[in-house]
Amino acid sequence: MFAKPVTEIYPDPPVGLDPLALDEARIPKHVAVIMDGNGRWAKKRALNRLRGHRAGIDAVRETIRAASDSGVRYLTIYSFSTENWKRPDDEVEGLMELFAKTMLAEVDGLHEEHVRVRTIGDMSRLPKDAREAFEEAWEKTRGNDGMTLIVAVNYGSRQEILHAVQGIVDEAVASGEAPVVDGDLFERNLYTAGVPDPELLIRTSGELRVSNFLLWQLAYTEFYCTDVLWPDFNRYEFLRALLSYQSRDRRFGGV
């Protein structure tokens, strides 16, 4: 359900983009986003990569508001993968500092909008400041009943799957009984336990790969890929993704 009239959510659309075409009854419950292109955005402007990451914060803020106002219940953003540790040390250190500062700066506003903030991934490797900022955001917003913002940080889907398998094994060893492993048991051991699978995945900057993101959960997700670099992504690009999703016939393997 829209939080306000759709013309207020999308007040100044580009020519040819009609917010009134958005069907309130067919908004995806869960949208996942691979935010790509910060580095290329910075390079085009002869700036260092961290400037691109900082510019991407505005796109995150805009997307959160548009998703929440449009009735999306879960928004998962891929902020840092397990493979991203391979980047130069100064970029990784800058990103971790940016995570901490941004989360602390934004949490009050998210709380006021009733957004609940949680993370998925292995938080143990994060610096103390970043880890504590995410923990503080969770503690402050955990009781909210609005959209859930899921930040995937130090996240890798293969690692998540191995973590789930290990959890099932540990439980079997502790109980002394071999469990019947089915989809429900497996999903209860994923980082995303209790969260519905994404209906829509958005990837920016023209890339067409999954990048070790939600491999189990994306089994029947609709993909929307755009050439727009992440810092240039705004609520109207989000609207384009929603309209594209609503134009599709989802048959889940049926006729």
Which phi and psi (to 5°) does residue 155 adopt? -110, 140
Global pTM reads 0.97
Could you give the CA distance from residue 237 to residue 243 in angstroms, rounded to a whole number?
10
212 a catalytic residue: no
pLDDT of amino acid 255: 62
pLDDT of amino acid 251: 84
| Burial environment of residue 88 by CB neighbours within 10 A (0 to 12, 13 to 18, 19 or more) | exposed
Q: Which listed residue (12, 18, 23, 36) is catalytic?
A: 36
pLDDT of amino acid 138: 98
| Pairing verdict, β 74-81 and 148-155 | parallel
Q: Which of 74, 77, 67, 72 is nearest to 99 (CA)?
A: 77
pLDDT of amino acid 253: 81
Here the tokens at position 33 are: 């986003």
Half-sphere exposure of 101 (CA within 13 A, CB side): 9
Tell me the per-residue pLDDT of 187-212, one tens digit each, with 9 for 90 and over: 999 999 999 999 999 999 999 999 99
Could you give the CA distance from residue 66 to residue 43 in angstroms, rounded to a whole number?
28
Q: What is the CA radius of gyration of the chain?
A: 19
144 a catalytic residue: no
Cα 65 off chain centre by? 13
Could you give the CA distance from residue 89 to residue 72 in angstroms, rounded to a whole number?
36
The number of residues making up the chain comes to 255
Half-sphere exposure of 113 (CA within 13 A, CB side): 21
Q: Which listed residue (12, 38, 84, 90) is catalytic?
A: 84
Q: pLDDT (tens digit, 0 to 9) for every residue of the chain, 255 residues total?
A: 899 999 999 999 999 999 999 999 999 999 999 999 999 999 999 999 999 999 999 999 999 999 999 999 999 999 999 999 999 999 999 999 999 999 999 999 999 999 999 999 999 999 999 999 999 999 999 999 999 999 999 999 999 999 999 999 999 999 999 999 999 999 999 999 999 999 999 999 999 999 999 999 999 999 999 999 999 999 999 999 999 999 999 888 876
Could you give the CA distance from residue 62 to residue 161 in angstroms, rounded to a whole number?
31
Tell me the per-residue pLDDT of 121-142, one tens digit each, with 9 for 90 and over: 999 999 999 999 999 999 999 9
With helix as H, strand as E and coil as C, how does the chain read? CCCCCHHHHCCCCCCCCCHHHCCHHHCCCEEEEECCCHHHHHHHCCCCHHHHHHHHHHHHHHHHHHHHHHCCCEEEEEEEEHHHHHCCHHHHHHHHHHHHHHHHHHHHHHHHCCCEEEEECCHHHCCHHHHHHHHHHHHHHCCCCCCEEEEEEEECHHHHHHHHHHHHHHHHHHHCCCCCCCHHHHHHCCCCCCCCCCCEEEECCCCCCCCCCCCCCCCCCEEEECCCCHHHCCHHHHHHHHHHHHCCCCCCCCC
The answer to whether 139 and 66 have CB atoms below 8 angstroms apart is no
